[in-house]
Chain A
C-alpha cells in the first residue's frame, strides 16, 4: 500500500458536512430508521433523492401510503432479478413515508432496470491486502468474530445517541468498507456505473432547481462517491464518467407486492434479508430508548423460555432472569448503552443451550427463531393497482400459445424439449407452474425405449378459475413465474429445514424439481444439500437414484438445465458414489434379492475413482461374514471387478454344494447368479467348476441338493434359464465331440453293456431307480425342457415345479406355450404333493420345500407341516407368520399349533442360555480402597492393635488401615423397553425380539415392555410374556419412523436412570434425521441407557443403513448387530 489515503477522520467529517445532505444507509437498519424522521424534520428538504431504479417511481405513492402495512416488496423483471423488500426498519421506507405524507418530491436516482450497466464487470481482482480500515473500526468495538461490522458500529451503540451521531457512524462504516475495497482494487464495475448515474441525476436535478434543498439517501458504501470533492472518495481513481446522454429507460414490468416476516429473515434464502426481523422491529419501536430496549430484551427472553418449555425442556423464570442479567451485563461490559441483537443471542445460547448442539440445543434454536423472526404479513393499501405474478403469467402463456384466460380450453401437448427451443420453454413453464402448486397442467407418463428414460413429455393443460385464484397465492413469493416457482421451492426447502432437516428423498425430489424448472441457483443449492445430506443419511437405493439423476444432469437430458451447466457436478457424483460404497457394509445381513441387485448396480457404475481400496475391503468383509445371499453376490462382484481370480470363484462355488444346509445353498447361489447370471448365459467359463460339480456329483447327493439348487437358479428369468440351458447343452455336446476317439461300434457295445449291467443291478435293488445324464440334470436344475426328461426324472421336475412354477420376468407366462417353466401338471392337492416330496427327497427336504412354499404365500403348504415333526427354526416361523396377517381367523387357528410348538421350543432354548447372564446381585462389601463411606466398625476392629492410652485416660485408635464400604446399587425396578421395527417384512429380528422379550419378562427384577412401531406404535406389553399371541398380533408393513417409536418409549420412562431402551431396527428412517437424533439425545440426556440393535439374531450380521447408524452413535446410542445372548448380557451389565 504505497498510495496515499485520505485521513479517515477528515474524510468522514467532510462527508458529514457535504452538500447535498447525505444519509448513508443499509437496506435494513433499525437504528437509522428510528432517526430518519428526526433528521428530515430538522432539514425540511424540498426533494428526496433515493437509491431506487426510476421505473419504480409510480409505485412510491402507494409504498408510502399510510394504509400500506409493511413488510411489502418492490420487484421488477430482468437479470439479475431486482427485488427490494421493505419493512418498518428499512430507512428508505421510513423516508418515503415521510416524503409522501408531506408531499415532498421523491426522485429515484439509481440505474434504470434493464440498463446494460447492471451487467458491468469489475476490474481484475488484485491480491487482497485484508481489510485494514474495517479491521481498525472493528477493533474499536468488541463482539463476536462473525459479527457484521455495521451491527457493531452503527446498530449496537445507537441507543441513546443523537440522530446526527448515528448518521455519522453510518457514513464512517460506508467509507471504511469502500476504502478497503479500493485498496484491493475490487470495486465492482456495476457499482461504479451506478454511482456515475447517481451523480448525473443529482447534477441534473440541481441544475433544474437551483435553490432546492436536497437530501440524498443512498447506501453508505456509495455515499463518498456522490460528493463533488473527489478527495474524499477512496475509490476516486476508479470513478467512471457519467454517460454523455442518458440511455433510454426501458419499459419493464414492475410490481408492488405484500411480503412477510419469515421471508425477510436472511436465513430464509431470500435476497436482501436481515437476521431476526421481529427484534429489528422492536428496536425501531423503542426508538433508541435504552430503557424500552431492555424491556424488549426481557420480553424476548421470557418468550423464548416459554417456547423452550413447550418443546419439553425445563426453562423457567430463573433462566429468563439469568438471560436478562447476562444480556445487560454483557452490554455494560462492552460499553453499549443498551443490549443489541448479538448480546441477546449470546445470552440465550449460553444460559439455555447447555452446550448441546442436538437435543436441547435444537429446541432452543427453534424457539429463538420462532420468537425473534416473528410472523407479521404485509398488506397493500386499498386501491393499489394490480400487479405481480397474475399479469406476467397470463402474458407468458399467451406468448407460448398455451391455454390462457382468453383461450382456456383443454389442450393436449406432446413436447420434445431437447430438440425444439419453443418446446423447451413450454416444458420449463409447465414445470414451473406445477412447482408453484397451481393446478394448470397434468403430466402423463411417457414410456422410454428400452431401459432409457423418456426424452419427450406429454401434458394436458387447461386454464380454469382455480388457476387464477392459486396464482394470487403464489404471487406472494414472486412477481414472475420464475421468482414464484423458485420462491415456492425454496420455501419447501425451508420447511424441510424447520422440520429437522431434509431427508434424502426430499433433497433428491427438490433437486429434480429445481432442475426441471430451470432454476440453476436453486439447483446448485440443492446440490449442496445433496453433498450434505445424501452421504450421511441416504440408503443405498436412494443413493443409486441420486446417481441416476446426477448422470442425467451431467448428460444434459433435463430440459430445464440445457444450456446451464452445473459446476462441480463431477465432484458431487464422486462424493455420492463414495457414500454408496460406504453403505455396502450395511448390506451384510441382507436376505433381500433387491439388495444384491443394488450391489450389482453400484458396481457397474464403479469406475476406478479413488474408492477402490475401500470397496475391496467392504466386499471382502461381505464375502466372508455376510448373509449367504450377500456372500454369493459379493464373491461374484469381486470377480467382476477383477479383485479375485475367476477360477477361484468357480472352485469356491463348487464347494458350496457340499454344504448340508439347503437354505444356505439356495441363498448363496441366488446371490451369485444375480451378479454372474449374464456371464453364464454368454457361455463364460467363470463357473465351470460349479457346473462340473453339478454334473459329476453322485446321483443321490444331486437329488438331495436339487430343490436347493433349483431355488438358487430360480432368480434367473425363464428366458435367461432357457438361454443358459442352450449354452450348457452346446457345451455338453462339445465335450462329447472331443471325447470320441474310439471306434463308434465299440462305443455302442460299451453302452449296451452298461445298460445291461444297470438293469441287473436294478433288479437286485443295488442301483437307484433313475439315471440322470448331465443334460437331464440341467433340465431339472433350470426347470426347462422337462418334457425331454426320462419319465422317472420327470416326477422330480414336476414336484419342484409346484414350488417354483410361478415364473416372473422376461419370458414368463404369456399365451405362447413357449419355453416357460411349469411345464408339468400340478397335483390334486397339497397332501399328494407332500407325499410325493417325502417319497422323492425324504422328510427333511420335504419340510424345507413346504416352508419355502409357505413363505411364497401358500397357506396349504404351511398347514401340511406336521407340528410334532417340525424342526423348530426361526426361518420356518417367519415363513408361517408372514402368512398370518392375510388369513381368516379360522385358518390362523389351524396354524396355531405349529407356531405354538416352534415358539415354545425356541423360547425354552433361549431361556436356558439367557438366564445365567441375568442373575446377579450385588451388595456393599468392605474394601481398603477409599471410595465410599467409612466402615467404622470394621475400621476399629482392624486397628485394635494400634490402640493407645492417652494421658487423660481416653483410648485413641490410630487407623492405620481404614476400611470403607463400596457403593451398592439396588438391582430391582429396572425397566426394559424393547422397541421393534416392524415396517419391513416379518423378519428373524422380530421373532427373536419377541422371544427375548418373553424370556426377559420372566426375570423378576425387570419390567419388560415391548413396542412395535412402523409409522404408528403399538404397545404389546400386555402380551409380552406370551410370545405366541404377541407374534400373531404383530402387524407388519408401513413406513419407518423411529423418532415416533422413541417418543412413545419416552412416555414409558419413569425413572430414567433405571430404564433401558433397546431399538431393533434397520435404521432406514423414513423421516428427517434431525428429530430422530433429537429423540435419542433426549433419552440419553435424561440418563436412559439406550442401545440400537441393527439386527437381533443368532448370526450377528445385519442389514442396516450405515450412515444413519453412525449418526446415532454420535448422538449417544451405540449400534451393533447382536445375538439374543449378547443382548441379555448387556442388560445384565446395566443392572449390575
Chain B
C-alpha cells in the first residue's frame, strides 16, 4: 500500500492514513486491485495510524477518524469470503537506551488504535514490521485486551553474519515464544528481507511453534550492490520463492515494500492455480 501511495503522489510529510479521508476512492481502488489479483485478505491503510506515529506527523488529532474510515473503505468493497485485516505498525518511538519511550506509552498507544479498529468491524488484527520484540509483545497484549478476534504478529528481522536477528538483537526463537505467550494466533516475519532470504528464515520460525506462520517479504526494494542500485525481484521469481516459503512452513503469504497487485496475481497463479 505505502509504495503505491507514494507512486500515486502522496506528498512527503503527509501520513498515508490521511488519504483515507482525502482520497478515499484511491484507497478503495488499491484494495479492489488486490482482491481482483487474488488476495484473500487486505490490510487497512492504518499502518502508521497509531496516535504516537500520527502525532509525529502532526495528525494525532485525527487518529480515530483515520482508523474508522480505513476500515469503512475496505469493508465497502470486500468480496464475500474475503477478509479485512486491521493493520498496526510500530509507534516510531524506541525504548531506552535507543530512545526515550516507555512501555506504558506503547500500551496506551496500541490500546487506543486497537479499540478503534475492533469497533470498526475488522476480521483480524495484523501487527507488523516490529523491529523491537518488546513493542510487538505490548501491542499483542493490548489488542488481546480489547478484542477476541485473531491476532497476526509479524517481526522484522535482518540477516547478520550470525544469522537472523531484530535490530535490537532479539533471536528468532525468543520472538516466536514471546509472541505466542502474549497471545498471537499467527506468527511470522515481514519487511527488510527479500523473498529468497525469507525461504531460509521461515523454517527457523516454524520449528519453534505449532501456530500458523506468516511471511511477507520485500520485493524490488532498491539495494546497493557494488555502488549500483538494483531492484532485486520481479513478480514471477518472487512468486516462485513464495512457493518455496510455503513448502518451508508458511501458510499465510503476501508482499511487503516494493510489491504490488502484480506480485499477488503471480502468487495466486502459482499457489492457487488461478
A and B: interacting chains: no
- Interface set of A (CB-CB < 8 Å, partner B): none
- Interface set of B (CB-CB < 8 Å, partner A): none
